[in-house]
Structure 1
Amino acid sequence: MTATDPALTALSSGWGALSLLHSRIEAHVERALQSGHGLSAREYSLLDVLSRQHDGDGGHLQMKQVADAVVLSQSATTRLVTRMEDRGLLSRYLCPTDRRGIYTNVTAAGLELLREARPTNDIALRQALDEAAGNPELASLVAAVEAVETSAQSA
C-alpha cells in the first residue's frame, strides 16, 4: 500500500468521521453536564465506571484501572481523582493486601451526583446523536452506535 492508496484514503476518511462524531458528542455532553451539575464528561465517566464495580459499597478500582477507564495518563488521573476527592465524590485508600496499591472508591455523594446527572447525560447523548445523524458523513457511524445500544439491550 502506498500513501495515495484508495484504501488508506478511505481509512483516513473513516477515522476523521469517527473523530468528528466523538468530538461533537463529547462537547455536547460536556456542556450539558457542566451547566446542569458542575461535572465534566470525564468526571461523569469515572463516577459511572466506579458505580458499576461490585466489590464494595460504591465499587472501587486501582489507580491504573481508573486511568485505563477514563483514558488518561497516570498523572492526569491522579489530578482528576484528587479534584473529585476534594469535592467528596471519591475516596482513596491503600489496598489491605498490598500496601503499594491504591484504590479509588465512589462515595455516597458521588453516587447521588451520578444519579442526578445520568438523565442529563443520556438526553445530551441522544440529542448529539440525533443531530449527527442528519450529517451524511456521520449517519452510518450513528447507526453503528445505535446498533451497539440495541444489541446490549437485547443481551
Structure 2
Amino acid sequence: MTATDPAMTALAHSWCALSLLHGRIEGRVERALQTSHDLSAREYSLLDVLSRQHDGEGGHLQMRQVADSVVLSQSATTRLVTRLEDRGLLSRYLCPTDRRGIYVDVTDKGSRLLEEARPTHNTALREALDQASAEAELAPLVQAVKQLQGTTTPVT
C-alpha cells in the first residue's frame, strides 16, 4: 500500500469526519454545561459514569476503571476526581477488602448537580447531532449514532 492508496485515503477521510463530529458534539455540550452548571463535559461524564454504579459487591469503580470509562490517563483522572472531590461532588474511599484499591463514588450534592445538568447535556447532544445530520459527510455518522441508541442506555 502507498500513501495514495484510495482505500487508505477513504479510511483517513472517514476518520476525519468522525473526529469532526466528535469535536462538534463535545464543543456544544461543553459550552452548554459550563454556561448552565459550571461543569465541564469531562466532569459531567465522570459523574454520569459513577452514578450508574450499583450497590453491593463489585458495584463501585476503582480509579483505574474510572480512568478507562472516561478515556483519560490515570493521572488526569486523579486530577479530575480531586477537583470534583474539592467541590463536594465526589468522595474517595479505600476498598474494605484490599487496602490498595481506591474507589470513587458520587455524593448527594454530585447526584443533584448531575440530575440538574442531564437535560442540558441531552439537549445540547441532540442539537449537535441534528445540526451535523444536515451535512453530507456527517449525516451517515449521525445515523449510525442514532442506530446505536437502541442498543445502549437511551438519552432522555
TM-score scaled to structure 1, two decimals?
0.94
* Moved beyond 6 Å, runs of 4+: none
Once the two structures are TM-superposed, the CA of residue 151 in structure 1 deviates from its matched residue by: 4.0
Distance 2:33 2:60 in 1: 23
**Aligned with 2:96: secondary structure?**
coil
Counterpart position of 1:103: 103
Whether contact under 8 Å (1:50, 1:106) holds in the other structure is yes
Whether contact under 8 Å (1:62, 1:103) holds in the other structure is yes
Please list every run of 5 or more consecutive structure 2 residues that lacks an aligned counterpart in the other structure: none
Summarize the Cα distance change of 1:2–1:24 in structure 2 as closer, same or farther, 3 Å threshold.
Answer: same
Distance 2:126 2:104 in 1: 30
Matched, 1:128 2:142: no
Matched, 1:141 2:141: yes
Distance 1:15 1:111 in 2: 35
Matched, 1:23 2:29: no
Once the two structures are TM-superposed, the CA of residue 60 in structure 1 deviates from its matched residue by: 3.0
Distance 1:72 1:7 in 2: 31
Summarize the Cα distance change of 1:75–1:135 in structure 2 as closer, same or farther, 3 Å threshold.
Answer: same
- The percent of aligned pairs where both chains have the same amino acid is 73
Matched, 1:52 2:68: no
Counterpart position of 2:68: 68
Q: Deviations over 1:23-82 (max 9, x none)?
A: 0000000000000000000010011101111126xx631000010011111111000000
Distance 1:111 1:100 in 2: 26
Distance 2:152 2:101 in 1: 33
Once the two structures are TM-superposed, the CA of residue 4 in structure 1 deviates from its matched residue by: 1.2
Summarize the Cα distance change of 1:151–1:105 in structure 2 as closer, same or farther, 3 Å threshold.
Answer: closer
Distance 2:61 2:38 in 1: 24
Over aligned residues, Cα RMSD in angstroms? Answer: 1.4
Which structure 2 residues correspond to residues 77-88 of structure 1 after superposition, within 5 A? 77-88=77-88
TM-score scaled to structure 2, two decimals?
0.93
